């Protein structure tokens, strides 16, 4: 009888590795965050500049991470890199923040968006604005989708990777379609209701650069950072990538360049149809939905809903696919229950780690669904509220609390290249890939991210989230010293 192992097989080629990079990044951000950027930045040139700037910053990070990942092509991603550079405490802190908050909350929020899109399509098909499924029925559907994705991931690494590749191809195609739609309307529509025009980009630049609120521009960068978040997900599956010294850099750099082109192109398309001031006033309506409605009419609403559904499903599948590798790596090092490090000899996947992440994601779905409903019931109906807004969405609040801690630890990952180069100089430890532009490239990334993190403390709207995120890390440090450090010393 075959016994479970604690080694993951290398079965993922360069295309699937690239699909993990691209597919886990493209979720809802590119379809929705344009409105948040427009609220902070009224000039279209600065708004597009935010997408370009964060894209270039992401590329700098990818150039560095590729070298770090090539050094340690093992499961765990940031956990592995922080542990090797700074010691097990910092690796544990990353695992603490990611497992309890970042990964399951991302999965739960993405699948909740998928369910909302499916519900919207059903209402459009039925020609009604009323609910066609009950509140708790929708939550049950959300939990069911998480279970399906977990089963696909558990059935085999190759199968999970192929599903990710297929979903990524579809979502990239939808963004290319958005980029091409204004040109198609100009070419084939006789009298479009909303004609794309360069005049919609006005104002492009500030009339007075001295009057620009750079703090708000920093807030726009944080919104864009969320849309680019996830490009490091090649790290957790590094142990399963074939020829990692070649394929990891190829997937990282190629994937980030694709993301920059898609994001900048999509936002230029939005701006050609929706002026910046109108974009800022969209409220909860995704920019992509309003864009498609203006160009395609009612059919555009269904097209946008379908595109967002496929996109968030692909991102959620990527998170379910790579997330359990963190638990697996920590368990293998004795920082999580040992059963999480077992790999099925039949499927080559960490079944217990996959199950634990799926269950915790479902717990968050149900828990925050109950909290959201309680908030709504407490405020009463729309008429009773008198137009008052619901409190901040619990998923948004939860992920915002962790953004500061996650960004800080991820910046430490990039800074680790200075430690690793000093410890293992290129002359004595040759590698097939080295970060070009060292030490300028990592220094620029670290300084830029440091400025963005400092701006979070400077902005009252983000200060609370930053402090709570810092508190979450401190709680993890206390747990490590109380439990694991004592255990390891014994």
Per residue in 238-293, pLDDT (tens digit) is: 999 999 999 999 999 999 999 999 999 999 999 999 999 999 999 878 999 999 99
Kindly state the average pLDDT of the residues 136-165.
95
Does residue 401 have a pLDDT over 70? no
Q: Which region among 40-54, 351-365, 410-424, 446-460 has the lowest average model confidence (pLDDT)? A: 446-460
Does residue 116 have a pLDDT over 90? no
Residue scoring higher pLDDT (166 or 385): 166
User: What is the C-alpha separation between 159 and 167, in angstroms, rounded?
Assistant: 12
Residue scoring higher pLDDT (374 or 15): 15
Nearest 10 degrees: Cα torsion 229, 393, 303, 193: -110
Would you state the pLDDT for residue 143? 96
The count of residues in the chain is 490
Does residue 17 have a pLDDT over 90? yes
Would you state the pLDDT for residue 381? 46
- Tell me the pLDDT tens digit for each residue of 346-393: 999 999 999 999 999 999 999 888 887 877 676 554 444 344 444 455
The pair of structure tokens assigned to 183 is 């040109």
Would you state the pLDDT for residue 322? 96
Does residue 2 have a pLDDT over 70? no
Separation in Å, CA 305 to CA 117, 118, 259, 474, 484: 5, 8, 21, 40, 46
Burial annotation 417-453 (CB, 10 A radius, 16+ → b, else e): bbebbeeeeeeeeeeebebeebeebbbebbebbeebb
Work out the pLDDT band at 176, boundaries 50, 70, 90.
Answer: very high
CB 328 within 8 A of CB 352: no
Would you state the pLDDT for residue 390? 44
Would you state the pLDDT for residue 472? 82
CB 149 within 8 A of CB 318: no
Helices 440-458 and 214-228, axial angle in degrees (round to 10): 120
- At the second CATH level, the architecture of 14-377+395-484 is Up-down Bundle (1.20)
CB 116 within 8 A of CB 97: no
User: What is the C-alpha separation between 296 and 292, in angstroms, rounded?
Assistant: 6
Would you state the pLDDT for residue 400? 59
Would you state the pLDDT for residue 372? 78
pLDDT averaged over every residue in the chain: 88
Residue scoring higher pLDDT (453 or 45): 45
Would you state the pLDDT for residue 384? 40
Start-end of H helices in 73-134: 78-86, 88-97, 103-126
User: What is the C-alpha separation between 109 and 256, in angstroms, rounded?
Assistant: 23
The pair of structure tokens assigned to 430 is 């040759």
Separation in Å, CA 219 to CA 40, 180, 222, 260, 413: 7, 29, 5, 19, 23
Work out the pLDDT band at 223, boundaries 50, 70, 90.
Answer: confident
Work out the pLDDT band at 454, boundaries 50, 70, 90.
Answer: confident
Would you state the pLDDT for residue 376? 67
Would you state the pLDDT for residue 106? 87
Q: Which region among 27-36, 212-221, 367-376, 409-418 has the lowest average model confidence (pLDDT)? A: 367-376
Q: Which region among 36-40, 157-161, 207-211, 336-340 has the lowest average model confidence (pLDDT)? A: 207-211
Kindly state the average pLDDT of the residues 139-147.
96
Share of the chain above pLDDT 70, in %: 90
User: What is the C-alpha separation between 467 and 471, in angstroms, rounded?
Assistant: 6
């Amino acid at each position: 009888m075959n016994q479970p192992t604690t080694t993951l097989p290398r079965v993922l080629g360069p295309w699937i590795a690239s699909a993990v990079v691209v597919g886990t990044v493209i979720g809802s951000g590119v379809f929705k965050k344009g409105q948040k950027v427009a609220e902070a930045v009224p000039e279209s040139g600065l708004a597009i500049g935010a997408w370009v700037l964060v894209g270039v910053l992401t590329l700098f990070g990818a150039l560095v991470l590729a070298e770090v990942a090539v050094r340690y092509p093992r499961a765990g991603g940031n956990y592995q890199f922080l542990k090797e550079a700074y010691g097990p405490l910092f690796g544990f802190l990353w695992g603490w923040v990611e497992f309890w908050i970042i990964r399951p909350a991302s999965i739960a929020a993405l699948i909740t968006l998928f369910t909302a899109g499916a519900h919207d399509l059903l209402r459009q098909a039925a020609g009604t604005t009323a609910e066609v499924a009950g509140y708790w029925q929708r939550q049950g559907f959300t939990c069911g989708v998480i279970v399906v994705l977990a089963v696909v991931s558990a059935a085999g690494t190759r199968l999970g990777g192929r599903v990710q590749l297929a979903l990524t191809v579809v979502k990239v195609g939808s963004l290319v379609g958005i980029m091409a739609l204004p040109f198609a309307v100009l070419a084939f529509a006789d009298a479009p209701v909303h004609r794309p025009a360069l005049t919609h980009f006005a104002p492009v630049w500030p009339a007075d650069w001295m009057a620009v609120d750079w703090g708000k521009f920093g807030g726009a960068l944080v919104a864009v950072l969320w849309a680019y978040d996830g490009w490091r997900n090649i790290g957790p599956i590094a142990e399963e990538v074939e020829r990692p010294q070649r394929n990891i850099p190829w997937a990282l750099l190629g994937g980030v360049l694709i993301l920059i082109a898609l994001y900048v192109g999509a936002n230029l398309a939005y701006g050609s149809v929706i002026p910046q001031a109108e974009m800022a006033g969209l409220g909860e309506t995704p920019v992509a939905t309003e864009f498609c409605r203006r160009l395609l009419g009612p059919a555009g609403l269904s097209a946008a809903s379908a595109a967002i559904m496929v996109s968030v499903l692909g991102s959620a599948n990527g998170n379910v696919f790579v997330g359990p590798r963190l638990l697996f790596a920590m368990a293998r090092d004795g920082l999580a229950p040992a059963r999480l490090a077992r790999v099925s000899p039949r499927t080559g996947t960490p079944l217990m780690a996959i199950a634990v992440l799926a269950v915790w994601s479902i717990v968050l779905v149900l828990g925050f669904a109950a909290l959201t409903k309680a908030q709504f019931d407490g405020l009463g109906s729309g008429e009773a509220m008198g137009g008052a807004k619901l409190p901040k969405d619990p998923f948004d609040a939860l992920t915002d609390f962790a953004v500061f801690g996650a960004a800080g630890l991820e910046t430490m990952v990039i800074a680790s290249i200075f430690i690793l180069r000093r410890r293992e100089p290129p002359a004595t430890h040759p590698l097939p890939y080295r970060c070009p532009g060292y030490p300028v490239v990592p220094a620029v990334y670290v300084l830029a991210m440091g400025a963005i993190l400092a701006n979070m403390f400077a902005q009252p709207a983000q200060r609370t989230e930053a402090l709570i995120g810092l508190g979450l890390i401190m709680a993890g440090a206390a747990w490590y010293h109380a439990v694991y450090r004592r255990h390891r010393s014994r």
